[in-house]
Structure 1
């Protein structure tokens, strides 16, 4: 490929990525506009009350007019990208996906005009949102197929031990100098068994569930009890995972120094520790309500048994199905307030479920050889890196769609909308760079962006639901 053609290809990819962000912005802004009933301030179309320039001192009028300005800009961007696809040497399915989005866009505009100028039934807003989502799907598919390389890499042989990697023998450790040092090291080893890095994000998921359910009426006692039980249940699940995977952990550079793999903690003691954490977790959850305790127990069993023993070593879809464990805190948080499960909690759980592959596949790319050495059938090991990168983008698109649905089923406002769009754009940018650079640094960049996206969105949910 010549330098000029490579530059042209990169330019088209950037145009596609910008179009995807633009369409997603329009979907979120449209859903927020409908939720706040801002369209009533501008009941004519296309001009607003006969004016093409409106005063911005009226918030609802500014929102309604801003929605139309964004729709015009995105329409022009989508049209320009579709025309550009006809002038570039792109795959046929890329052109077809963009043509689908471009043809559907005028229909979406008509739906928006009808919603603004006439009295429509409640289901009409759902049709309008679904059309916007369909346009977004078309653009994301076009981007995924554009970034997909002509030739793909194949699977990696699993279970092959790198002569330079770890062996089945744990590393030799020097003996502690004294009792205090020994106690410190042992205490830290038990702490590591609990997988503390998972705690902050999963607790934030539960906090978002509680905030959506209670709003500004959220009680401190409910938060403390729910998060305490959550930390204990995560610790129990992590401990059991360390114990059950200790033999495979010894073969992987990333995990060879884990406490169970290096015999820092005797297996009998680790199991007892995990059971104690599980019992304490259920005790705390029962002080909230029975449903929370049942969901907490389900989370422990699913992660420790279903994911660790059944899914992770046996199927390439382990990360996808395993996302169910990460989504349960959303239901736990909602149930802690309502003693039930509502639609907003299910949608929030769906966001977490779809985000999990888009997040973890980046780590699987970075540690592909490690997972192959450990015998885990991760996506890049079984289907290759190119296919994994494509799935990162597709699951990111699905995550963004689910995030827009959350706007439609809750009272979340502009803080959530702006956060979701801004951090979603950053996440998408890193994924596009991952497709271009295809190295470990790019995978880690996308991995960290996924963490930043979800953390920021969940924090926005909490603040928007409680304080705004």
Structure 2
């Protein structure tokens, strides 16, 4: 049985291998997009040279890609050998062995692509092979990080006396007309779930930037984001109203305006309807498709997610990710009056990121969700299974982000951001598997926010400014 120190060392090596393979996938996709391989049409040496001048950017990119491939190949081979020497589980060996066997095939595909005129479909096969290697390494990492004993489901609707949640404290507010007006205004503001707005507006902005590039108009941005803020506010308000009874049972949500009757239900519903109508009016000023997508977002989050998915299925977070992905389509449609492939891939990134992001919060508030009767992943299937799914969905998110490089006109800022922040996110997820506490879950949650926020900003800058 390997010692804890050797186990941790293997986990670190496996994590480094995953990062290396992902770096190779992103660099390879960016190299193909910039057509840098044409500057180095021989293999393995570049035009007969092992050391190339770096004054030609395309030559430097092509040679850098080969150097990364060589180093990552050593990592894959070394980690695979280490897995066999450590007597790891057969499935970890199988996953790493498959990745190691596929790596030379990937190298041959790359060599053939560099030395001959190949169709775009061949480049796609080359990318898919790299993604398959990354998938094998991530699966091996997930299996390696699994604890020997797993926890079971939590009984829903029953409070855990040992839960770390602290009950919400509702303090007496000062009297006075001005004070009451401020308090009421802030309560209405909270109904709109303002914390969701910045990220969803960034998603829509990235969709617009991908569609328009440098020709993006300020008027389109203002109208689309205004309608987006109003629709998010309407969805949040309806969610608060529909969940007010359950919110009273959960410490995290017990002080919400609808749950505490700060805002009467009738007034909250009227406020939500007003926001929804205003958002549709603004969206219609952009185009009809944007208005249809905006209405779909409101209905899906308010009705499908809140009433049907969240209280009834453990897959509520996964399917609910569709609501968060719609702003990507809205942003593109605001410019193009249609739906393009880059917008669909960006929506896929958001869809896959949602479980990797929200499962961390579900881990931190597992007992609170159990009290509320929500069948969240850690409540139904346990924390160990949830941590494994965080890693799976993170791997899928990183791959979809790499696909976006191949289908959109994005440059090295996006590629660098994806690798750097993706590595930071992966590091926090690995720590979550080791530490398994609430602080680790929050760390991973915040890292997921930082990853997506930085990625979206990089998309906007790359598409518009670079």
Paired residues for 1:5-404 under 5 Å: 5-162=3-160, 173-174=171-172, 176-404=174-402
Spell out structure 1 runs of 4+ moving beyond 3 A: 161-166, 169-173
SS in 1 for 2:3: helix
Q: Structure 2: give runs of 5+ residues left out of the alignment.
A: none
Q: TM-score scaled to structure 2, two decimals?
A: 0.98
SS in 1 for 2:408: coil
1:170 deviates by 9.6
CA contact (8 A) 1:170 1:250 kept: no
Does residue 448 (structure 1) correspond to residue 446 (structure 2)? The answer is yes
- Listed one character per residue, the Cα deviations across residues 28-74 of structure 1 (whole Å, up to 9, x for unaligned) are 00000000000000000000000000011100000000000000000
- Between the aligned partners of 1:170 and 1:428, the Cα distance in structure 2 is 32
1:157 deviates by 0.3
- Listed one character per residue, the Cα deviations across residues 217-246 of structure 1 (whole Å, up to 9, x for unaligned) are 000000000000000000000000000001
- Of the structure 1 ranges 30-39 and 169-178, higher mean CA displacement relative to structure 2 is found in 169-178
CA contact (8 A) 2:168 2:251 kept: no
CA contact (8 A) 1:165 1:251 kept: no
- Between the aligned partners of 2:381 and 2:248, the Cα distance in structure 1 is 24
- Between the aligned partners of 2:87 and 2:47, the Cα distance in structure 1 is 45
Q: TM-score scaled to structure 1, two decimals?
A: 0.97
- Between the aligned partners of 2:296 and 2:215, the Cα distance in structure 1 is 28
CA change 1:226–1:50 in 2 (3 A) is: same
CA contact (8 A) 1:249 1:258 kept: yes
CA contact (8 A) 2:159 2:367 kept: no
1:122 deviates by 1.7
The equivalent of 2:465 in structure 1 is 467
1:342 deviates by 0.6
CA contact (8 A) 2:163 2:367 kept: no
- Listed one character per residue, the Cα deviations across residues 397-432 of structure 1 (whole Å, up to 9, x for unaligned) are 000000000001011010000000000000000000
- Listed one character per residue, the Cα deviations across residues 95-148 of structure 1 (whole Å, up to 9, x for unaligned) are 000000000000000000000001112200000000000000000000000001
The equivalent of 1:425 in structure 2 is 423
- Between the aligned partners of 1:221 and 1:90, the Cα distance in structure 2 is 58
